[in-house]
Structure 1
Amino acid sequence: MSVLDERFTVMGARGRIVLADRAPGDEPSPRLRRAHADARARLDDLERRWTRFDPRSDLSRLTDDPRAVLPADPDVGALVRAGAWAGRTSGGLVDITLGAQIAQAGYDGHWTGSPAPLPEALAAAPPRAAASPDPAARWSLLGADRHAGTIRRPPGVALDSGGIGKGLAADLVAAQLVGLRFFVDVGGDVAFGCGGAEAHGVVVEHPLTGAPAHRLAIASGGVATSGLHRRIWRTSDPPGFAHHLLDPATGRPAWTGVLAVTAVGRSALEAEVLAKTALLRGPRGARATLAGQGGVIVAEDGAVAVVPALRALARNAVRERAVPA
């Protein structure tokens, strides 16, 4: 079997693409090399269009445009549709319209320093509580018209592609890889395809120890992890700690008692939305969120809970991809 495996940085996070076909030999086949080059080019183009950190990007120009309805590239339209779908699916907890709030929390400047120590941050965090949706529900004003080539969004609102963009990017690349065995990881949002071979083995890493917390077998679909442990930073005003998972109702970091959630979905985007929704809902809400397709919940004390439906998905595989409405 011919295999191509590359790691890289994309969308400010770690990325990895693994491709395999039935060509003989140990070297990657020409088919794999072409598919990999196309996949990397696709990811690079999506990052250029969706980043909040480049004023020339499509997403940044949307923020500065005073119109409520405006022309947009199809990939920007796909991101806007995904944001609206995520808002509906999560009851407003996964909110793509929090670009200004995530910047205010210090996310844009946290890259330059070392991550803050997790135990210290947890000890200093406020009382734990489940997050709530923003009553303004600005995500509900999002829309995209494929035929007209336009998008609709609240003028002046900064959209943050964040995890939604990573999951959607993995799925868009996966759509190009039909017939191959593949693994597309965009910052922890992973799309899988088995190409008729055996399922992929997936290890869920414990966020505190780095040891395996659970093992999955996924033939196709997606897996995503949402957690506090990778992006925590110190703040000076007010003094304390912050992370990138916000409570939409307050615009501030959510401390819910859940440290990390891994979710299985029919797509990487769906898995991303389920994982983030589960974490923001807190321990009890997390179990209910994952009940349909399964997942793994890690509490702040390190306790691991495996939602049983996860085992059913590992046995039966996932045959259908979720598509945002």
Structure 2
Amino acid sequence: MSLLDERFSTMGARGRIVLADRAPGATPSPRLQHAYADARARLDELQRRWTRFDSDSDLNRLTDDPRPMVPADADLRALIRAGAWAGRVSGGLVDMTLGTQIAQAGYDQDWTRAPASLPAALAAAPPRAAASPDPAARWQALGTDRHAGTITRPPGVALDSGGIGKGLAADLIASQLVGLRFIVDVGGDLAFGHGGAGTHEIVVEHPLTGAPAHRFHLGSGGVATSGIHRRLWLGAGGTPGHHLLDPSTGRPAWTGVLAVTAVGRSALEAEVLAKTALLRGARGARATLAGHGGVLVLEDGMVEVVPALAHIAQRAVRDLAATA
């Protein structure tokens, strides 16, 4: 089997693409090399167009446009459509209209610095509470029209592609790789396919120790991890901050959950489930993950595996065995 495994930086995070086919040889086949080159070019294009850290990006030009309805191409419409969907399925907790608030919280530039100490941040953090949606619910005004080629959104509201963009990008790249065995990892949002060659092992990292917290196997679909430990900083006066906001306050949410890994039918779905689960706190997280399963890591270091995960992993193994 021919294998290609490349790691890189993308969308302010770590990225990885793993490709395999049945071609013999110790080096990647031409098919894999071409697929990887196309995938990286596409991912670089999406990063340039969707970032909020470049004033000339398509996303920021949309924010700056005073018109309530703006012509836009298919990629930008897909991002806005994903943002509206994320708002609906999360009950407003995953809200891409919080661009101004996340910059004010301290995430105002592309992430290149080392995170602050997690134990120190937890010790200084405010009392824990589940997040709530923003009563303004500006995400409800997000809309697209495929036939007219337009986007509607509240003029002047800063939009943040954030995890929604990473999950959607992983899925768009995955759509180019049908027939291959692949993993596309965009900042912890994974889209993968088995290519008829067995399941993938997914290793969940413990945010406190870096050691494996849980392992499971899946054939295809999406997995995403949302956590407060990778983008963590200390602001003025030592106030800790991170990038997962409580929409009702516009400030970092401290819910008692450090990280959530969720399974979905796509990377985008897994991303939205993971973030929703973390923002709801431990009790709400269990309910959020009940359908597809997942893994919670709480502030005391306890790891909880939501039971549906074991059933889905077992079914994936059985389904692939039946088609082998």
Q: TM-score category by the smaller chain?
A: over 0.9
Verify the 8 A CA contact 2:13 2:111 in the aligned structure 1: no
- The runs of at least 4 consecutive aligned structure 1 residues that moved more than 2 Å come to 109-114
Is it true that 1:247 corresponds to 2:246 in the alignment? yes
Return the offset for 1:113.
4.5
Greater CA deviation, 145-154 or 287-296?
Answer: 145-154
Q: Secondary structure at 1:108's aligned position in 2?
A: coil
Aligned counterpart, 1:277: 276
In 1, the alpha carbon distance for the partners of 2:248 and 2:91 equals 12
In 2, the alpha carbon distance for the partners of 1:220 and 1:141 equals 33
Of all paired residues, the percent bearing the same amino acid is 79
What is the CA deviation profile of residues 224-254 of structure 1, one whole-angstrom value per residue up to 9, with x for unaligned ones?
0000111110111x64110000000000000
| 1:94-113 map, 5 Å | 94-109=94-109, 111=111, 113=113
Is it true that 1:27 corresponds to 2:27 in the alignment? yes
In 1, the alpha carbon distance for the partners of 2:51 and 2:284 equals 31
Residues 1:159 and 1:223: Cα distance change in structure 2 (over 3 Å):
same
Aligned counterpart, 1:295: 294
Verify the 8 A CA contact 1:110 1:233 in the aligned structure 2: no
Verify the 8 A CA contact 2:244 2:252 in the aligned structure 1: yes
What is the CA deviation profile of residues 49-73 of structure 1, one whole-angstrom value per residue up to 9, with x for unaligned ones?
1000111110010111001111011
What is the CA deviation profile of residues 91-116 of structure 1, one whole-angstrom value per residue up to 9, with x for unaligned ones?
00000100000000011248464421
Q: Secondary structure at 1:17's aligned position in 2?
A: strand
Return the offset for 1:26.
1.1
Aligned counterpart, 2:195: 195
Return the offset for 1:196.
0.6
Gaps of at least 5 residues in structure 2 are 318-324
In 2, the alpha carbon distance for the partners of 1:315 and 1:134 equals 39
Return the offset for 1:32.
0.6
TM-score under structure 2 length normalisation? 0.96
In 2, the alpha carbon distance for the partners of 1:164 and 1:73 equals 18
Verify the 8 A CA contact 2:182 2:195 in the aligned structure 1: yes
Verify the 8 A CA contact 1:229 1:259 in the aligned structure 2: yes
Return the offset for 1:10.
0.3
Residues 1:6 and 1:69: Cα distance change in structure 2 (over 3 Å):
same
Return the offset for 1:138.
0.5
In 1, the alpha carbon distance for the partners of 2:87 and 2:223 equals 19
Tell me which amino acid in the other structure corresponds to 2:293.
G
| 1:80-99 map, 5 Å | 80-99=80-99
| 1:195-214 map, 5 Å | 195-214=195-214
Q: Secondary structure at 1:317's aligned position in 2?
A: helix
Greater CA deviation, 271-280 or 145-154?
Answer: 145-154
Is it true that 1:13 corresponds to 2:13 in the alignment? yes
TM-score under structure 1 length normalisation? 0.96
Aligned counterpart, 1:129: 129
Aligned counterpart, 1:45: 45
In 1, the alpha carbon distance for the partners of 2:160 and 2:112 equals 20
Is it true that 1:182 corresponds to 2:153 in the alignment? no
Greater CA deviation, 111-120 or 123-132?
Answer: 111-120
In 2, the alpha carbon distance for the partners of 1:292 and 1:27 equals 40
Tell me which amino acid in the other structure corresponds to 1:241.
P
Number of residue pairs aligned between Structure 1 and Structure 2: 317
Tell me which amino acid in the other structure corresponds to 2:246.
D
Residues 1:175 and 1:304: Cα distance change in structure 2 (over 3 Å):
same
Residues 1:6 and 1:110: Cα distance change in structure 2 (over 3 Å):
closer
